[in-house]
């Protein structure tokens, strides 16, 4: 019961998303720190996890081209902050939420892992 009291309510109800079991003292963690999640939520795949406390999340989407009456595939790569209490690896499907700017190119934070595994 003591763990449930130490985890903040982020205010999200997303199927498959649970608070991390591990504790951390990072102020930029949405679960254990003071970071507020507001704006958009995206689901994507971890493309790179080389940087310290940062991952690159890739998401694929379709765009309709009216002239040819077809869809084309596009992708975007988003830099997201990774709290120390959440463990991810390349290929995991994660949920990221929009926050205030944390660095020059980082305005998203990883909220949790929805699906483990998978390789690129």
CATH number for the domain spanning 84: value is 2.40.50.1000
Inside any domain, residue 70:
yes
The count of domains in the chain is: 1
Are 111 and 12 in contact by the 8 Å Cβ rule? The answer is yes
Within-domain flag for 120? no
pTM of the predicted model as reported, rounded to 2 decimal places = 0.85
Does residue 11 form part of some domain? no
13-48 confidence digits (pLDDT tens): 777 788 888 898 999 999 999 999 998 999 999 999
Which pLDDT tens digit goes with each residue over 73-92? 999 999 999 999 999 999 99
Q: Does the residue 7 lie in any domain?
A: no
Q: Please report whether residue 6 resides in a domain.
A: no
Q: Among residues 113, 108, 114, 115, which one has the least CA distance to residue 40? A: 108
Tokens of 51: 């940087």
Whether 67 maps to a domain, the answer reads: yes
CA neighbor of 53 nearest in space, from 69, 38, 33, 68 = 33
Residue range(s) defining the domain that contains residue 40:
24-115
The answer to whether residue 9 sits within a structural domain is no
Residue 77 lies in a domain: yes
Rounded alpha-carbon distances, angstroms, from residue 101 to 2, 105, 106: 32, 8, 6
- DSSP letter string over 9-45? ------TT----SS----TT-TTTSSPPP-S-EEEEE
């Amino acid at each position: 019961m003591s763990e449930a009291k130490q985890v903040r309510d982020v205010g999200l109800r997303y199927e498959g998303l649970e608070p991390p079991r591990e504790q951390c003292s990072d102020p930029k963690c949405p679960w254990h720190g003071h970071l507020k999640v507001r704006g958009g939520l995206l689901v994507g795949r971890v493309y790179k996890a080389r940087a310290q406390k940062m991952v690159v999340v890739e998401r694929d989407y379709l765009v309709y081209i009216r002239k040819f009456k077809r869809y084309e595939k596009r992708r975007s790569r988003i830099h997201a902050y990774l709290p120390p209490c959440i463990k991810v690896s390349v290929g995991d499907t994660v949920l990221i939420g929009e926050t205030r700017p944390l660095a020059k190119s980082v305005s998203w934070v990883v909220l949790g892992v929805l699906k483990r595994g998978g390789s690129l």
